[in-house]
């Protein structure tokens, strides 16, 4: 995502230290996660050798590629697929949008459509 | 002649085996007649009437009536029809019958349209009230019951010779015989005895063709096709252009008009005062015998060469008269008037030339059997067209068609120069030697009248053998059919002009009495007010009347006797024609034959009495009393006139129109309300008026006032007794005939709304314009304003134009042209409607129309089928079918499609339920990745060389339509 996580992380840690409280990095990561700073949180967790937490935060940050090394099973398959979709879209022929017929555009749009998540009845 | 032609002539004929007693197929006559059980008892009790009854039953099953019909004048029995059946010593028995729709039959609601109840055979004096009885007492007859075979109810109506002719297997057969000897019936029998073939039945006479159509509709095997055409239509079909129908009188008039223009009366020589004979000689011989291959011809084979005419034994007028003919023709610049005076010969010449080049329309190339009736009306040139047609058919089909011909060369009232020896030579040289059959039995004329005709035939004996008809003097007369019917022979003398005037005026008003002159034209002594009531032999040929008055026969007989010693070939030629006319005039009567002699001398009186044998002598007063005494009901009077009108239409439409109007007046009465309530009579009058009116509209160049009168009468009659559809058809016919540039589609569609049986009048009238109609139809699908009409019933439209070929194929071709026209104008909706009626449409057309209608997948498939890759590619893409478009794609389009296919496949491999596992950010990123950039706005770029794709669909009125 083009974010210098490490430099951000240092700054954040520095800020947290400067606040006068010497903290545990895990607390910092938890604080980052609570603040919605998932990239920082994921980096800290990763440094701390906590891959599950790192994976969760990489995903919350939408970082498929970074999340992938920590994923297994179904999640790994999801991430791999999303990466392939992204790559394919990036390799889209230049100017294709101007050449598509209406029916092609419709079919493509229909094919690309991912269903919305099921509504949870509880929680 | 090539060796293959020679081979085919001799080897390619197949025996004409009949399917005698064939399968019990269904035929049109089935169920039309219902026979009351008492009639069968009547047949058993009176065996001598069986043959006549059989003939009458066949006529009724085919035509809906017998040729002679009488009504019942008493109020109790009104509605019954009566047909004489003959019997012992006089006209003893009548068949009583009634068609559906009369007073007797109206109560039977379940009785089918056109059915006939045959109720009883009664003695002629028996006029006691006859009850129709119950419908369940009638047996429904099928064709086998009445066709004369052993298993039927009736005796066979066929004579042995007729049967022999019909069932013979020789491929070319000629039948000839007396008037009333049953030649036509023999031809019909020959056609009906064979199944699963295609027969072309030809005759110059339209009324005979109309009759033959009705007959074949009733009796031809269901698996056979019989196409009955008048000769003009046949020639028109061969030439691809309508033949102008010109009655003989009109041809003579055109000839006289041309003659007046030439101003060469000083060169007439022996032809002075013989202009009709000169016209006949030109028609029958100089032009009518111009058959290349038989005689030397010149001037593009249009006429005989001078040596062939003078020295070839073709003409019988002798060298002096012959030389004058050639001189007159040369001086008159014949090319300037030939087509105008003899349009039918000009067409025959064209047809023969086309056939000689092997050119034959597809429609005429599918017949197995050619049948020609009344061959004596054909010139040698016209007969040669038939023979050449058979030769070309043989070459095209590798076997020759069977050819059956009937003639009576003693009835050549039409100047055809018919000569049986010449016909024989033509057939032998061009096809194969014909088998000849002589019908010696008279099945129509009562014995006494037949004997008078026989005595008239003796007059031929004084003519040298080559110039007289075949075997006319030695015919045996046998009692057959109607000859068992008795008849009266009457001789009447008139002494002064006043008496003539009164008698002719009186007879003109009498029912079923015809006045016939034995001369070519109505004599000058006939007062003007009676001239239209007199028939010439040419007009009377083919007609039958209860009573016939032959006018002023004495001088004709005296002239025929007087010239016995003369050797002038022209005189002999005239005499032969005069005897022919005489025989035709005498043989029209079915009950009473009257000779009316005007101011006769002893010689004339003696000759008339010799001819009649024993005759009753009546004064003019007696005669009027005899006929006026006859109490004929209106329906019988009407039927006689409608029957006359139909037959006279062949020779004089004006005469036919007079008769039709007479029938109309009888039907209307004085008050304008129908005097006759019988619906079948009303329909008969309506159809007759329509028939003659439509012929006048199509064939005559009448002035505006006459035309308007004809149209308004036809409209009034149709409004009163016809149907709204018939009225519409009349109006459309009037519009089209007034302006023939107008497309005929409205007229044809009006015709389509009529049942085939109700449309016969229109079909007959349009027969003279068939080629013009078809050429007009040909142009219509190219016209954007008319192309949409081809979504209708084109096949039946073609049927109305007399199309003889494969109507389905032709309709398909016309619809394809219409579809192209509409597609070019982007009227795809209508084009699609037409295309939906085309079985297995052309892929190209289907593709274009489908694309126009936005059905791109269908269009793409059709384009593929048509081998059109680029449009197929375009349509697969427009249909959103990436995979199918890919094989045709190149360059960027190929890359685009490949990418889309991959994208779709990848999306299809999406992990199950991934949507429930995605985080919000992942979803957001995925959506962002999938998002296609907006399409850049495109500016239209002019395309050189026209549009690439189809235009937007429009409706017929040019408006836009959402596809």
Helix (H, G, I), strand (E, B) or coil at A116: coil
- 8 Å CB contact between B748 and B778: no
Candidates A93, A102, A103; nearest CB to B896 = A93
* pLDDT for residue B2: 53
B224, B196 contact by CB (below 8 A): yes
- Burial status of residue B260 (CB atoms within 10 A of its CB: 0-12, 13-18, 19 or more): exposed
What order do you get walking across the sheet with B488-494 strand by strand?
A: B534-535, B513-516, B545-551, B589-598, B488-494, B616-618
- As given in the structure block, the two tokens for residue B178 are 């007396």
pTM confidence score: 0.79
| Cβ B620 vs Cβ B515: under 8 Å | no
Residue A72: predicted pLDDT = 92
Residues of A with CB below 8 A from B916's CB?
A: 117-118
Cα separation of B838 and B809, whole Å? 10
Is residue A118 within 8 angstroms of chain B, CB to CB? yes
Cα–Cα dist B767/B681, whole Å: 26
CA distance B426 to B391: 12
Residues of chain B contacting A112 with CB distance shorter than 8 Å: 903, 907, 930
Residue B19 CA from chain centroid, whole number: 27
Which of A2, A65, A82 is the best mutation test for B, with the most CBs of B within 10 A?
Answer: A82
SS3 B31: coil
Q: What is the overall mean pLDDT for chain B? A: 84
- pLDDT of amino acid B482: 45
Give the number of other Cβ atoms within 10 Å of residue B907's Cβ.
18
Structural contact between residues B141 and B39, judged by C-beta atoms closer than 8 angstroms? no
Categorize the per-residue pLDDT at B640 as very low, low, confident or very high, splitting at 50, 70 and 90. confident
pLDDT bracket for residue B175 (50, 70, 90): very high
* Chain B interface mutation, best of A81, A102, A106, highest count of B Cβ atoms under 10 Å: A81
B142 closest CA partner among B57, B47, B18, B48: B57
Q: What is the pLDDT of residue B634?
A: 76
What pLDDT sits at residue B142? 79
Closest C-alpha among B755, B499, B465, B788 to residue B621: B499
Pick the residue from chain B with its C-alpha nearest to A84: B906
Which pair of structure tokens corresponds to residue B136?
């369940």
User: Widest CA span of chain B, in angstroms?
Assistant: 136
B882 touches chain A (CB under 8 A): yes
> How many other CB atoms are found less than 10 A from the CB of residue B17?
11
- pLDDT band for position B111 (cuts 50, 70, 90): confident
Contacts of B923 in chain A (CB under 8 A): 114
Query: Does pLDDT of B273 surpass 90?
Result: no
**Chain A contact for B785 (CB, 8 A cutoff):** no
Check if B883 contacts A (Cβ < 8 Å). Answer: no
Q: What is the model's pLDDT at position B29?
A: 73
What ipTM did this prediction achieve? Answer: 0.86
For chain B, percent of residues with pLDDT exceeding 70 = 87
**What mean pLDDT do residues B792-805 have?**
90
Check if the beta carbon of residue B760 is closer than 8 Å to that of residue B728: no
Question: Chain A within 8 Å of B963 (Cβ-Cβ)?
Answer: no
Q: Are B325 and B282 in contact, with CB atoms under 8 Å apart?
A: yes
Please write the tens of the pLDDT for every residue from B540-555.
877 778 889 999 888 8
> Is the separation of the CB atoms in B490 and B593 below 8 Å?
yes
Tally of residues, chain A:
123
Q: How far is A120 from chain B (nearest CA, A)?
A: 10
Read off the pLDDT of residues B1-24 as tens digits, 9 standing for 90 and up. 554 455 455 456 676 666 655 545
- In this prediction, residue B399 carries a pLDDT of 82
Which of B83-92, B312-321, B627-636, B943-952 shows the lowest mean pLDDT across its residues? B943-952
Q: How far is CA B169 from CA A18, A65, B173, B434, in A?
A: 129, 98, 9, 12
What does the pLDDT look like over B318-373, one tens digit per residue? 888 899 999 988 888 888 889 999 999 999 999 999 999 999 998 899 899 999 99
**B955 pLDDT tier (thresholds 50, 70, 90):** very low
Q: What's the alpha-carbon Rg for chain A, to the nearest Å?
A: 19
Q: Phi/psi of residue B152, each to 5°?
A: -80, 180
Q: Tens digits of per-residue pLDDT, B370-418? A: 999 999 989 999 999 999 999 999 888 888 899 999 998 766 667 888 8
CB contact under 8 A, A62 and B921: yes
A92 and B CB contact within 8 Å: yes
User: Is the predicted pLDDT of residue B483 greater than 60, yes or no?
Assistant: no
Structure token digits, residue B290: 């111009």
Q: Residue B469: its pLDDT value, please? A: 61
Low-confidence residues of chain A: pLDDT under 50: 1-3, 20, 123
Q: What is the pLDDT of residues B844-903, one digit of tens each?
A: 999 999 999 999 999 999 999 999 999 999 999 999 999 999 999 999 999 999 999 999
Interface test with B, best of A108, A109, A115, A118 (most B CBs within 10 A): A108
Strands B369-372 and B402-407: parallel
Residue-wise pLDDT for B568-577, tens only, equals 777 777 778 8
Which is more confidently placed, B127 or B447?
B127
- Residues B595 and B608: their CA atoms lie apart, in Å, by 7
Cβ contact A104–B916 (<8 Å): no
Q: Please give the average per-residue pLDDT across B743-766, as a whole number.
A: 90
Contact call for B906 and A85, based on CB within 8 A: yes
Cβ within 8 Å, pair B880-A89: no
**Chain B contact present for A75, CB below 8 A:** yes
Between chains, do B903 and A59 touch, taking CB under 8 Å as contact?
A: no
Q: Which of B244-248, B358-362, B634-638 has the highest mean pLDDT?
A: B358-362
**Between A and B, how many CB-CB pairs are < 8 A?**
119
- How far B890 CA lies from chain A's nearest CA (Å)? 13
- Give residue B780's pLDDT band: very low, low, confident or very high (50, 70, 90): very high
Q: Where are the alpha helices (DSSP H) in B825-941?
A: 828-835, 843-852, 856-865, 869-878, 882-885, 891-908, 914-917, 920-930
Tell me which chain A residues have a C-beta less than 8 angstroms from the C-beta of B930. Answer: 85, 89, 112
CA separation for the pair B568, B348 (Å, rounded): 32
Which helix (H) or strand (E) segment holds residue B492: the answer is strand B488-494
Say whether pLDDT at B524 is over 60. Answer: yes
By Cβ distance, the residue of A89, A97, A117 closest to B930 is: A89
């Amino acid at each position: 995502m083009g974010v210098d996580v490490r430099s951000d992380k240092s700054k954040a840690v520095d800020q947290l230290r400067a606040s006068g409280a010497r903290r545990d990095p895990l607390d910092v990561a938890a604080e980052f996660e609570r603040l919605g700073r998932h990239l920082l949180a994921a980096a800290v967790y990763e440094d701390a050798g906590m891959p599950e937490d790192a994976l969760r935060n990489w995903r919350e940050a939408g970082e498929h590629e970074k999340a992938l090394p920590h994923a297994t099973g179904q999640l790994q398959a999801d991430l791999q697929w999303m990466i392939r979709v992204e790559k394919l879209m990036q390799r889209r022929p230049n100017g294709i949008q101007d050449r598509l017929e209406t029916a092609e555009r419709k079919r493509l749009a229909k094919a690309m459509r991912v269903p919305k998540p099921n509504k949870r009845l509880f929680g | 002649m090539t060796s293959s032609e020679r081979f085919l002539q001799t080897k390619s004929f197949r025996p004409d085996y009949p399917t005698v007693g064939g399968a019990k197929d269904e035929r049109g006559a089935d169920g039309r007649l219902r026979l009351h059980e008492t009639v069968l008892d009547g047949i058993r009790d009176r065996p001598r009437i069986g043959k006549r009854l059989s003939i009458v039953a066949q006529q009724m099953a085919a035509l809906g009536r017998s040729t002679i019909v009488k009504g019942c004048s008493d109020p109790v029995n009104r509605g019954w029809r009566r047909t004489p059946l003959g019997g012992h010593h006089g006209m003893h028995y009548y068949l009583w019958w009634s068609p559906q729709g009369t007073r007797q039959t109206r109560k039977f609601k379940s009785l089918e349209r056109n059915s006939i109840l045959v109720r009883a055979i009664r003695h002629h004096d028996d006029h006691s009230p006859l009850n129709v009885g119950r419908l369940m007492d009638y047996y429904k007859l099928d064709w086998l019951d009445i066709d004369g075979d052993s298993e039927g109810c009736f005796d066979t109506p066929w004579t042995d010779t007729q049967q022999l002719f019909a069932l013979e297997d020789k491929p070319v057969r000629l039948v000839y015989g007396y008037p009333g000897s049953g030649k036509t019936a023999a031809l019909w029998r020959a056609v009906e005895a064979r199944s699963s073939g295609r027969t072309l039945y030809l005759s110059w006479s339209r009324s005979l063709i109309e009759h033959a159509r009705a007959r074949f509709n009733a009796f031809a095997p269901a698996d056979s096709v019989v196409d009955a055409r008048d000769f003009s239509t046949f020639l028109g079909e061969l030439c691809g252009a309508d033949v102008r129908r010109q009655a003989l009188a009109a041809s003579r008039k055109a000839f006289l008009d041309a003659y007046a223009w030439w101003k060469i009366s000083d060169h007439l020589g022996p032809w002075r005062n013989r202009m009709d004979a000169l016209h006949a000689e030109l028609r029958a011989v100089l032009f009518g015998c111009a058959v290349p291959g038989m005689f030397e011809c010149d001037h593009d084979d249009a006429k005989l060469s001078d040596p062939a005419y003078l020295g070839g034994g073709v003409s019988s007028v002798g060298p002096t008269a012959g030389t004058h003919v050639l001189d007159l023709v040369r001086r008159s610049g014949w090319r300037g008037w030939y087509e105008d005076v003899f349009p039918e010969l000009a067409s025959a010449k064209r047809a023969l030339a086309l056939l000689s080049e092997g050119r034959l329309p597809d429609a005429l190339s599918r017949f197995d059997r050619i049948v020609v009736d009344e061959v004596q009306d054909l010139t040698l040139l016209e007969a040669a067209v038939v023979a050449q047609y058979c030769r070309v058919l043989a070459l095209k089909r590798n076997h020759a068609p069977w050819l059956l011909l009937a003639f009576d060369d003693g009835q050549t009232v039409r100047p055809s120069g018919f000569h049986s020896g010449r016909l024989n030579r033509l057939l032998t040289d061009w096809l194969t030697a014909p088998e000849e059959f002589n019908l010696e039995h008279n099945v129509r004329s009562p014995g006494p009248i037949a004997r008078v005709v026989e005595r008239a035939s003796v007059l031929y004996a004084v003519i040298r053998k080559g110039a007289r008809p075949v075997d006319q003097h030695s015919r045996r007369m046998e009692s057959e059919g109607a000859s068992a019917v008795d008849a009266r022979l009457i001789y009447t003398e008139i002494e002064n002009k006043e008496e003539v005037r009164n008698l002719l005026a009186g007879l003109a008003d009498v029912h079923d009495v015809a006045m016939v002159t034995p001369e070519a034209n109505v004599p000058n002594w006939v007062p003007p007010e009676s001239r239209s009531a007199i028939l010439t032999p040419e007009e009377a040929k083919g007609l039958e009347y209860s009573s016939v008055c032959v006018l002023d026969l004495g001088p004709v007989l005296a002239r025929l006797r007087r010239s016995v010693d003369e050797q002038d070939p022209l005189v002999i030629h005239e005499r032969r024609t005069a005897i022919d006319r005489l025989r035709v005039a005498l043989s029209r009567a079915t009950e009473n034959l009257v000779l009316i002699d005007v101011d006769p001398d002893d010689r004339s009186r003696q000759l008339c009495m010799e001819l009649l044998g024993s005759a009753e002598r009546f004064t003019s007063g007696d005669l009027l009393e005899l006929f006026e005494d006859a109490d004929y009901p209106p329906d019988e009077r009407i039927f006689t006139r409608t029957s006359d009108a139909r037959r006279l239409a062949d020779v004089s439409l004006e005469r036919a129109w007079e008769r039709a109007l007479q029938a109309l007046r009888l039907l209307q009465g004085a008050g304008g309300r129908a005097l006759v309530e019988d619906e079948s009579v009303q329909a008969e009058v309506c159809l007759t008026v329509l028939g003659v009116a439509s012929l006048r509209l199509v064939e005559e160049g009448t002035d505006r006032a006459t035309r308007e009168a004809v149209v308004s009468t036809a409209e009034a009659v149709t409004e009163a007794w016809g149907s709204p559809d018939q009225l519409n058809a009349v109006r459309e016919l009037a519009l089209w005939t007034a302006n023939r540039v107008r497309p005929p589609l409205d007229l044809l569609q009006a015709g389509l709304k009529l049942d085939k049986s109700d449309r016969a009048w229109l079909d007959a009238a349009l027969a003279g314009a068939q080629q013009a109609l078809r050429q007009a139809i040909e142009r219509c699908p190219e016209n954007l304003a008319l192309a949409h009409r081809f979504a209708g019933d084109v096949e039946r439209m073609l049927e109305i134009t007399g199309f003889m070929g494969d109507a389905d194929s032709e309709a398909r071709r016309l619809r394809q042209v219409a579809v192209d026209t509409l597609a070019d104008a982007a009227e795809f909706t209508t084009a699609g409607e037409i295309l939906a009626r085309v079985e297995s449409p052309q892929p190209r057309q289907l593709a274009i129309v489908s694309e126009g209608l936005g059905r791109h997948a269908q269009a793409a498939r059709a384009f593929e089928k048509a081998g059109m890759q680029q449009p197929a590619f375009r349509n697969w893409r427009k249909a959103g079918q990436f995979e199918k478009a890919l094989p045709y794609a190149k360059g960027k389009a190929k890359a685009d499609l490949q990418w889309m296919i991959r994208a779709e496949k990848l999306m299809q491999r999406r992990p199950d339920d991934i949507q429930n596992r995605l985080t919000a950010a992942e979803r957001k990123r995925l959506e962002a990745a999938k998002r296609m950039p907006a399409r850049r706005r495109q500016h239209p770029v002019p395309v050189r060389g026209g549009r690439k794709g189809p235009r937007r669909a429009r409706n017929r009125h040019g408006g836009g339509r959402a596809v």
